[in-house]
A and B are shown apart, each in its own frame.
Chain A
């Protein structure tokens, strides 16, 4: 999965948010509040890590099982897709 251009992660007063910029802002202005786990996933996705690596890194960081990490990842990606923050998987990242 790949984060579409025009989104940035910012921590404000200890609270992570996803901020749409430029054209994305014009389409849907606002700030998306996320928790620390989601911020970790977003950073990994934005860095272009393959899904499997993101899930492994999440499990290592938060001490969850691969199944739990996979479920969290899938849920977060679904939400980002619904918001148009990530698009279809890039063939190169599979």
Chain B
């Protein structure tokens, strides 16, 4: 058993392998009496591997993915959403870089780290976003992608940046509907009625408190510089 802290919420993990514990090492905290209990069983792992095929019978990946799903489900009622994105802290200003796998989220994050003072990647794949009243806080998690880009820290997010590859850098503000249609595909879908209600409230909060843009950019350091240049002030109606 070990205790994991995600979004500052302690989770007591039972039944996980040593490999899984190692992958979570940066987020393990001393045991806490109020921790929420999460149990991993062999049967769950087998089901996970059947449900979402892992690389060539990789049971360890299945277990790690399963833990992610269980953590996401446990934290949804506690105002947390797992959002497939790169969470970026640029001198205290938070950005979520969003888009399909392979679109260049991590690459742009790395350009930002190299080019912009005070820029760091909080999480390279699946940050947990805590909706704390009017504040949208992106936290690091152990699920941070192949390049293992994560820190156990958080940043207040102000910008949702939906990426597309382009021959030149340009950005346009997105209205609420456009942002919604793009955002929902980056969050695990809810599957029970209470989850749907929680999901709806949290997605609405994210869209209310963040400014959304589509950013077409080149794969070059200038994309980092242009990312933070002349950002739109607010979502248009």
Contacts and interface: CB of A to CB of B under 8 A. Distances in A.
A12 interface: yes
Given A19-B196, A21-B196, A12 B180 contact: yes
Interface in A1-55: 8, 10-15, 17, 19-22, 25-26, 29-31, 33
Contacts of B180: 12-15
B200 A11 contact: yes
B176 A12 contact: no
A10 B203 CA distance: 12
Q: By CB atoms of chain B within 10 A, which of A15, A21, A29 has the most? A: A15
Interface residues of B, number: 18
A25 B207 CA distance: 25
B196 A10 contact: yes
Contact of A21 (B176, B191, B200, B204): B191
Contact of B196 (A8, A13, A29): A8
B193 A8 contact: yes
A15 B199 CA distance: 13
A12 B203 contact: yes
B177 A29 contact: no
Interface in A48-90: none
Contacts of A29: 189, 191
19 contacts: A10-B197, A11-B200, A12-B184, A12-B204, A13-B204, A13-B208, A14-B177, A15-B177, A15-B180, A15-B181, A20-B191, A21-B191, A21-B193, A21-B196, A22-B191, A25-B191, A26-B191, A30-B189, A33-B181
